[in-house]
Amino acid sequence: MQIRWKDIDGYKGLYRISNKGEIYALDRIKGNGRFSPGHMLKPIINGHGYSCVSLYDHYGKPDQLVIHRLVALHFIRNPKNSPFINHRNGIKTDNRAENLEWCTQFENCKHAYETGLTPKGEKNYNAKLKEADVLRIKELIAEGISQRKIAPMFNVSPSLIRSINLENHWKHLCVVDIVEGEIWQDIAGYENLYRISNKGRVASYDKTKINGQFIQGRMKKFSVWSYYFRVSLVNSSGIQKWFMVHRLVAEAFIPNPDNKPIVNHKNGNKKDNTLENLEWATISENNQHAYDTGLNVSYKGENVYNAKLTTENVLQIKQMFKDGGYLQREIAEMFNVKVSTIQNIKNGSHWKHISLS
d(CA 319, CA 321) in angstroms, rounded, equals 5
Assess contact for 165 and 142: CB atoms under 8 A: no
Q: What's the CA gap between 193 and 216, in Å, rounded?
A: 12
C-alpha separations of 184 from 33, 168, 179, 253, 277 in Å: 79, 26, 11, 9, 17
Residue 86 contacts residue 104 (beta carbons within 8 Å):
no
According to DSSP H, which parts of the chain are helical? Answer: 67-75, 105-114, 131-142, 147-153, 158-165, 245-253, 283-292, 311-323, 328-334, 339-347
Cα→Cα distances 192→148, 195, 212, 213, 241, Å:
36, 8, 18, 17, 17
d(CA 324, CA 317): 11
Residues 5-46: tens digit of each pLDDT: 999 999 999 999 999 999 999 998 777 778 889 999 999 998
pLDDT in the model for residue 256: 95
C-alpha dist (Å) from residue 12 to 56, 219, 304: 11, 56, 90
pLDDT of residue 247: 96
Question: For the segment 185-229, what is each residue's pLDDT rounded down to a tens digit?
Answer: 999 999 989 999 999 999 888 765 555 555 667 888 888 888 899
Pair type for strands 39-40 and 44-45: unpaired
Taking all residues of the chain, what is their mean pLDDT, rounded to a whole number?
A: 86
Q: Decide if pLDDT at 181 tops 90.
A: no
| First vs last C-alpha separation in the chain | 103
Length of the chain: 357
Is residue 57 very low, low, confident or very high in pLDDT (cuts 50, 70, 90)? confident
Query: In sequence order, which ranges of 124-242 are alpha helices (DSSP H)?
Result: 131-142, 147-153, 158-165
* 8 and 55 Cβ atoms separated by less than 8 Å: yes
Question: Phi, psi at residue 333, to the nearest 5°?
Answer: -65, -35
pLDDT score of 210: 53
Closest CA to 341 of 296, 316, 307: 307
Judged against a pLDDT cut of 70, whether residue 273 lies above it is answered with yes
Strands annotated E in 57-190: 62-66, 84-87, 100-103, 184-186
The pLDDT assigned to 298 comes to: 57
Using a cut of 0.75, tell me whether the model's pTM lies above it. no
How many whole angstroms separate alpha carbon 22 and alpha carbon 42? 9
Share of the chain above pLDDT 70, in %: 87
Q: Cα–Cα distance between 202 and 198 in angstroms, integer? A: 10
Most confident of 140-154, 177-191, 267-281: 267-281
Segment 79-120, tens digit of pLDDT = 989 999 999 888 889 999 999 999 988 787 777 766 666 666
**Single-letter amino acid code for the residue at 159:** S
- Distance, CA of 63 to CA of 86 (rounded, Å): 23
Distance (Å, whole) CA 137 – CA 347: 54
